[in-house]
Chain A
Amino acid sequence: MPDESQAATPKLPTEFDRRAFFTRVGLRSLGIAAAGTIVFTYEFLSPNVLFEPSPIVNLGKPDSFAVNSVTMDVNTAIYLVRAEEGFFALSEVCTHLGCLTAWNQDLGIIVCPCHGSKFTRTGEKIEGPAPKPLPWLKTWVSDDGDLLVDRSANIPPLQYLRI
């Protein structure tokens, strides 16, 4: 039969037959859809609004802190230090795995209870697994004369706030 003989003729080495075209279109559509799904999922899983406490904390009047004192506040996770050079705020969160460190008045150092990292009053590491010093936090005085600390903004160390 003529149909059969036609079917038996060897295929021409065309670059692009219909099947290859649809395969390519199908695979690329799937690829685009997969990429879109990943972006969509990532966007969905990232909350746009967080009900977390504000990173900016009001610590009150600077005069309430004695010279050469370290004030530890576990609720805000901040050390407010008044040194002779001036004020500075230090994060209490250990740079190792996020535990809350504690100020040891007798030894004059900061100690992490979880894995034993120790820091000086200025946040430098003395020993332990912590990879970085405790960060200094942005500190300034508001128009009302209150000390404000931004827990989300780190500043280079040894930038004392002089009042």
Chain B
Amino acid sequence: MKIPMNAEQTIEKVRGSRIWRSVFRSGTGNSTLHRALAIQQNIFLHLFATKVRKRMVRFSATWYLGTLTLGTFLILVITGILLMLYYHPSVPQAYADMKDLQFVVSSGLFLRNLHRWSAQLMVFLVFAHMFKVFYRGAYRTPREFNWVVGIVLLLITLLLSYTGYLLPWDQLAFWAITVGSNLSSAVPLVGNKIHFLLLGGNQVNANALLRFYVLHCVVLPIMAVLFIAVHFWRIRKDGGLYVQQSEPKAQAPSDSIEPAQEVK
């Protein structure tokens, strides 16, 4: 005879099952230890700290700008992969494929616009995130290396934005990349060589389109993911999100989870 179970009991039963336990080894229970283990034993979550102060995760501390940037990046990865299914990086087809995405492919217009607007938003959010970190002084010791990682991520973001600009293969794309790639010619001595390697020729043509496509869809996203992982991991290693020490404690009496570590 089976007793009907409520949702909570069902979840507990699933979490206690052998299959679930083989995947998530931290086990059931809501104790501090179990909750810490759930973070620490997960390959993705273990980048983050097992414990944070409430003050660190308050909206006013960061305005969640870093998290929002990650959100736009995830949207860009997902929509980007979907757009790749209809886009051929070749001179005769690129522009037509872009137009097909707008007018022929179901939901193509939505995905393309989502990709485009998320890209604009990501650049904006990266700058906003950096301004917030800068004006709070959160880049200071021991977080200076993570600031440098952030600079690298800014450059990757701008390069992703720049390489994606060529892919629609319209007049704006062509002349923007002609102008932009000519900037590299200004580098002393090796400028023209860099320009030649970047475009795979002397002018923006089939080789340039393919190179920018590979950079945009493979090389730069992989670099971005690697540096994002380091960036998040360093937050934990550098003592968590920055909290201003000068903030009077009285303002948040029950704020800290670990009050013993609070520095006066």
Interface residues of A (CB under 8 A from B): 42, 45-47, 50-52, 96-99, 114
Contact = CB atoms under 8 A, between A and B. Distances in A.
A7 B170 CA distance: 75
B200 A98 contact: no
Contacts of A42: 197
B242 to A, nearest CB: 38
Contact of B182 (A46, A50, A98): A98
Given A52-B202, A52-B205, A98 B178 contact: yes
Interface string B106-134: 00000000000000000000000000000
A50 B202 contact: yes
A19 B183 CA distance: 49
Contacts, number: 31
B200 A47 contact: yes
Interface residues of B, number: 15
B202 A114 contact: no
Contacts of B205: 51-52
B179 A114 contact: yes
Interface in B183-231: 183, 196-197, 200-203, 205-207
Nearest to B202: A52
B175 interface: yes
Nearest to B199: A47
Contacts of A47: 200-201, 207
A45 B197 contact: yes
A85 B196 CA distance: 37
6 contacts: A45-B197, A47-B200, A47-B201, A47-B207, A51-B205, A51-B206
A50 B175 contact: no
Given A47-B201, A51-B205, A98-B182, 16 more contacts: A42-B197, A45-B197, A46-B197, A47-B200, A47-B207, A50-B201, A50-B207, A51-B206, A52-B203, A52-B205, A97-B179, A97-B183, A98-B178, A98-B179, A98-B181, A99-B175
